[in-house]
Amino acid sequence: MAARSSKAQLERFDLPSSDLNHSSLTWAMQASPTISVINASGLGDAGSAIDLVRSQHVVLINCAGIEQGLAQRLNDMICGALTALGGQLHSISPTLLLACPTLSRVHTI
């Protein structure tokens, strides 16, 4: 059962106590996620992607237009920063990366 708070930004979920060894109450943001797309052109785009993830954006990074070695360095920089921030980096294809903030979940179907 979900109960709305008076501010309508938070929603309360009652979870079984066995789920992830957390307490039975979890609070989650009700805002819809913002997805940003970056067509990478250099290492400066890593900083832009990281700033967007810090702002709770999901970021799709297209590395198709840059050289493979540069794309790998961009991947490494973003991956390191996301590890420090508690985010996640997913490789969608050899040239597409998906950077997610801490509260985002990605399910592969």
Per the rule left: phi > 0, alpha: psi between -120 and 50, beta: everything else, 96 is beta
**pLDDT digit string (tens) for 95-107?**
999 999 988 888 8
Quick: pLDDT tens for 65-87. 999 999 999 999 999 999 999 99
CATH 3.30.110.150 intervals, the chain: 34-100
pTM of the predicted model over 0.75:
no
Q: What is the pLDDT of residue 57?
A: 94
In CATH terms, the superfamily for domain 34-100 is SepF-like protein (3.30.110.150)
The DSSP output letter for 21 is G
